[in-house]
Amino acid sequence: MSFKRIDLLICCGSGCISAGALKIKERFHEVLAEHNISNEVNMIETGCMGPCDYGPVMVIYPEGIFYKKVTVEDVEEIVTEHFIKGRPVARLMLQEEEKVIAAKKDVPFYQKQIKVALENCGYIDPESMDEYIATGGYEALGMVLTGMSPQDVINVIKESGLRGRGGGGFPTHIKWQMVHDNKSGEKYVICNGDEGDPGAFMDRSLLEGDPHRVLEGMMIAAYAMGATNGFFYIRAEYPLAIARIKLAISQAKELGLMGENIFDSGFSFDAEVRTGAGAFVCGEEMALIHSIEGQRGNPTPKPPYPAVQGLWGKPTVVNNVETFGNIPTIIRKGAKWFSEMGTEKSKGTKVFALTGDIRNTGLVEVPMGITLRELIFDVGGGMIGDGKFKAVQLGGPSGGCLTVDHLDVGVDYESLKERGAMMGSGGVIVMNDEKCMVNVAKFFMDFCVEESCGKCSPCRIGLKQMLEILERITSGRGREGDIEELQRLGESISKLSLCGLGQTAPNPVLSTIRYFREEYETHIRDKSCQNKVCLDLMHFNIDKDRCIGCSLCARKCPVTCITGSREDKYIIHQLECIKCGNCFDVCPVKAIDKIPGIHPDTAAHLQAMEKVTQKYDD
Amino acid sequence: MYKEICTKYAPTKDNLISILHEIQDTHPQHYISVDAVKAVSDYLKVPENHIYGVLTFYSMYSTEPRGKNIIRLCESPPCYIKGSENILRKLKTILGVNVGETTKDGKFTLELCACLGVCGNAPVMMINEDVYGDLTEEKVEDIIEKIRGRN
C-alpha cells in the first residue's frame, strides 16, 4: 500500500458523466503522467455528489476544495497550479454574490442536508468494497447476525419509525413482521429499483453511488424475515446501476459476506439482479413481481398482499432502494438516533431530486418536515433566471401541484397528502411563472395514458377520456362543464382503479384544478393561454414600430408565411403560421411578441369552418 | 445463434425478459425476429403467444429491425420544461426521420422514452448505453456527427 499526497474525488454519477466527467478523468491520467506525479495522487471515481447542475464536479482533499463545471481544458491548470504549486484554482470554485467558496463544507447547497442513505454517495469509490467497509459498512450486518434475533431487528426498525421511501409511506416493520410470522419455508425479498417517476433519480444515484449499502440493507431485511433469496429489480434504462450492483454481489460473495452459512450464523443468502424493459407500471409491487416471473407486468388485485402471496405465490417483501439504504445506519446508530430526526409521524430523512426551473438541480437528502421554502430556496438556491416561483410538482405523475401558498408546509407524508400532493419517490419539479398549468396537467396525463397497462377499465378508458378533454381545452375547443367532468372522472378513476398507477394518475389534474382553476377557465371561456404555452391559444405578432425590416424572420420561416419589405415592414399571415417560433428566436431587435389568445383572423376562420361543418352535420 | 444465448440462462420462464434483452442487444439491427421468438419458445417451453405478449408489453423491445444506434430522447416533464421539444425538432431535421423511424443508411433510429433519471442535466438523451445531458441544438449536431464519423 502506498500513501498519496492528494485525494482527487471525481463525481461519476450519471449527471456528471453526461456532462463529460469520464473524459476529464482520462485527461487527469495523461496530465499527471506527463508531470510524473501519478503516484502522488489518489484518483477516485465516486457516485453522485448531488449538485448535478454544477457538473462535472470534483472535491480535492486534504483541503476539501470543491470545483464545479470543470472542462477537459481546465485539467492542466488544476494539476500545475493546485497539485504542484499548492495554489487552488479560484475561477473553478463556486461564486456566490462575489464571494468565492473554496471548501465543499461551505457550499450552501450542502448546508441544510443530513445524509443518512447518501452518507457515502460521492465520498467513496462505489466499486471498492474495502472503502465501504472502511466507512463502517457491513458492521450492521455483523451486529445483526452475531447478536440479534430476527424479532430484535424488526423491533429496532419499528422503534425507528422508518416508512417506505418508494412513495406510499407504509411502515416498513409491518411488512417485515407479516413475512416473519408466516411459517412458509420459502420467502423472498425484493429491492424495487424500477424508478420510473419522471424527475426522480434517487434510486439510481444510490445504486450507482453506494451499492453495498443497499445490498447490506437487503440482507438485514432477509435475515429479519427469514428469506434466503433476494432480487434486485432495476430498470434497463440504468445500465451503470445494474453493473454496480452485480459487482457488489460478486464482491460480497467472494469475501464470504454472502452465500451459505454467513459468519457461521446459520443464515444463508443469495441475490440476483433482474432488469425491467421499459414499463412504468412495474414499479407497482404486484406488477413488478409478475415481471420477475417472466410475465407481462400487469398488477393483480390486492389482497392477497405480496407479504402473504408474492413471488411464485410465496411471502415476499418489496422495499424501495432508499428504504434499504437507511437500514444499515439505523442498526448501527440505533432507532433513537434515527427517530430524533423528522416529524412525529415521518421519521428520519428523505432524499429528493430537485429538477426544473431551479438553480441547484440535483440530489439532496434533508430531514423530514423541512419546509418547501427551505428545500427550494435554501438548498435548491431558488429559481433560475428571472422567472418567479409558480408551482412545484411533488411525487411525479402520481403526485400533485402545490403553490406559493404552500411554501411553508413541512414536507412529510401526511402534510403533503392533505394538500393533494404526495411524497412519491421524491421527485421535486419546480416550475416558474412562464408555465401553463393546464398544459403541465395534460403532459402528465399523456404520460399516464401511455404507461397504463390496460388491465382495468377505469385507468385504461377513464384516463384516455380525461386526456381528450384536456386536449380539447388546450386546443381552444373547451366547453362549459369540462372542469366538472374532469373532476368527476378523476374522482371515480381514483376510487375504482386496480393499482397505484390508476389510483393516483388523476392527481396532477385534480390538484391543478384545485389551485389554478382560473387558468382552466380562461382556456375554456376566453380561448386564451395567458402564459402563451398552448400554441392554439396564442399567436405571434410583429410590432411594426420595432421591426427594422431586415427580413431575417421571413427567410427563417419554414412555411413562408411572413411577407413584407424594408419599407412596409413585415407581417405574419396568421392562417398559415405553424407557430414554430423560429421568427421569435431569430429577430435581432426582439420585434416579435407572443400574444395570448387566438388572433382575430384565425378566430374568424375557425368560426366559418364550424358553420360549414354544422351545415354538413344538419 | 439464438440457441447459444438461450443456453446461458436456466430454462425457466423467469429468465424470459433477460434472454429477450440479450437477443435484442446482440442483434446488429437491435430487434427480436420471428425466428428468435421460436427459438426462445422451444428453449423455455413457453408458447409463442406468451412471448409476444411480453414483447409487446414492454416498450424497450422491438419486433421491427432498427438502426445501428438507438437514440432515445427523454420526453418526461423535467426535460420538457427545459426544452426537449426543440431538441426533438433538431434531431428530426438532422436525421431526416420521424419518431420511430430509422435513417436510410441504417445508422440511427429515433425514439422517445420515459424518464432516464438524469433530470438534473435535462434535456437528456441516451444513445445506446451512453447518456448525453444539458443538450442544446448545437451539441446535438455535434454528437450525431461524431457518431456518424465513428461508424
Using CA of residue A519, residue A525, residue A531, residue A537, what is the dihedral sign?
positive
Measure the CA–CA gap between A41 and A46, rounded to whole angstroms: 15
Task: Say whether B81 and A196 touch across the interface (CB within 8 A).
Answer: no
Q: Tell me the C-alpha to C-alpha distance, in Å, between residue A601 and each of A55, A141, A572, A579, A607.
A: 48, 72, 11, 15, 10
Q: Which residues of A touch B132 (CB under 8 A)?
A: 18
Asked whether residue A362 carries a pLDDT value surpassing 70, the answer given is: yes
Contact status, residue A257 vs residue A213, Cβ threshold 8 Å = no
Measure the CA–CA gap between A568 and A387, rounded to whole angstroms: 35
- B20 in contact with A, Cβ within 8 Å: yes
State the pLDDT at residue A2: 66
Give percent of chain A above pLDDT 70: 100
Measure the CA–CA gap between B28 and A478, rounded to whole angstroms: 48
Q: Which of B46, B58, B121 sits opposite A15 (nearest CB)?
A: B121
Measure the CA–CA gap between B106 and B68, rounded to whole angstroms: 6
- Provide the 3-class DSSP secondary structure of residue B62: coil
Q: How confident is the model over A154-175, as a mean pLDDT?
A: 93
Measure the CA–CA gap between A392 and A508, rounded to whole angstroms: 11
Asked whether residue A1 carries a pLDDT value surpassing 60, the answer given is: no
Asked whether residue A198 carries a pLDDT value surpassing 90, the answer given is: no
Contact status, residue A117 vs residue A351, Cβ threshold 8 Å = yes
Measure the CA–CA gap between A276 and A318, rounded to whole angstroms: 15
Helices (H), A193-279: 202-209, 211-225, 239-255
Neighbours of A618 (CB within 10 A): 5
State the pLDDT at residue A396: 82
State the pLDDT at residue A218: 97
Domains and CATH numbers, chain A: 6-111 (3.40.30.10), 129-339 (3.40.50.11540), 352-432 (3.10.20.600), 437-488+512-525 (1.20.1440.230), 539-604 (3.30.70.20)
pLDDT (tens digit per residue) in B30-44: 999 999 999 999 999
From B91's Cα to the closest Cα of chain A, the distance in A is: 15
Backbone angles phi, psi at A432, to 5 degrees: -90, 180
Task: Say whether A18 and B58 touch across the interface (CB within 8 A).
Answer: no
Task: Say whether A440 and B61 touch across the interface (CB within 8 A).
Answer: no
Q: Give me the residue label for grid cell 434533508.
A: A366
Asked whether residue B100 carries a pLDDT value surpassing 70, the answer given is: yes
Measure the CA–CA gap between A575 and A573, rounded to whole angstroms: 6
- Provide the 3-class DSSP secondary structure of residue A556: helix
pLDDT (tens digit per residue) in A44-93: 999 999 998 898 999 999 999 999 999 999 999 999 999 999 999 999 99
State the pLDDT at residue A49: 94
pLDDT (tens digit per residue) in A502-514: 999 999 999 999 9
State the pLDDT at residue A425: 80
Measure the CA–CA gap between A121 and A211, rounded to whole angstroms: 9
From B101's Cα to the closest Cα of chain A, the distance in A is: 19
Q: How does the average pLDDT of chain B come out, rounded? A: 92
- Provide the 3-class DSSP secondary structure of residue A377: helix
Q: How confident is the model over B115-142, as a mean pLDDT?
A: 90
Asked whether residue A256 carries a pLDDT value surpassing 70, the answer given is: yes
State the pLDDT at residue B151: 63
Q: How confident is the model over A549-574, as a mean pLDDT?
A: 93
State the pLDDT at residue A351: 95
Give percent of chain B above pLDDT 70: 99
| Residue, of A186 and B117, whose pLDDT is higher | A186
Sheet holding A349-356, edge to edge: A362-367, A349-356, A427-432, A389-394, A400-403
- Provide the 3-class DSSP secondary structure of residue A235: coil
Neighbours of A255 (CB within 10 A): 13
Q: How confident is the model over B59-73, as a mean pLDDT?
A: 94
- Provide the 3-class DSSP secondary structure of residue A417: helix
Nearest to A276 by CA among A308, A244, A233, A243: A233
State the pLDDT at residue A302: 87
Angle, alpha carbons A181-A342-A371 (nearest 5°): 135
Measure the CA–CA gap between A150 and A222, rounded to whole angstroms: 9
The DSSP code for B75 is -
Beta strands in A121-266 (DSSP E): 188-193, 229-234, 259-262
Measure the CA–CA gap between B11 and B40, rounded to whole angstroms: 9
A153: which 3 cell numbers?
Answer: 431487528
The interface pTM score, or ipTM, of the predicted complex is 0.93
Q: Which residues of A touch B78 (CB under 8 A)?
A: 198-199, 355-356, 427, 429
Measure the CA–CA gap between A611 and A169, rounded to whole angstroms: 54
Is residue A497 very low, low, confident or very high in pLDDT (cuts 50, 70, 90)?
very high
pLDDT (tens digit per residue) in A138-147: 999 999 999 9
Measure the CA–CA gap between B135 and B88, rounded to whole angstroms: 11
Amino acid identity, residue A226? G
Contact status, residue B32 vs residue B5, Cβ threshold 8 Å = no
- B43 in contact with A, Cβ within 8 Å: no
Task: Say whether A19 and B54 touch across the interface (CB within 8 A).
Answer: no
State the pLDDT at residue A233: 97
pLDDT (tens digit per residue) in A364-399: 999 999 999 999 999 999 999 888 999 999 988 888
DSSP assignment of A43-72: EEEES--S-GGG-S-EEEETTTEEE-S--T
DSSP assignment of A3-46: --SEEEEEE-SHHHHHTTHHHHHHHHHHHHHHTT-GGGEEEEEE
- B61 in contact with A, Cβ within 8 Å: yes
State the pLDDT at residue A616: 82
Measure the CA–CA gap between A233 and A283, rounded to whole angstroms: 9
Task: Say whether B17 and A435 touch across the interface (CB within 8 A).
Answer: no
Q: How does the average pLDDT of chain A come out, rounded? A: 93
A544: which 3 cell numbers?
Answer: 411594426
Measure the CA–CA gap between A493 and A502, rounded to whole angstroms: 7
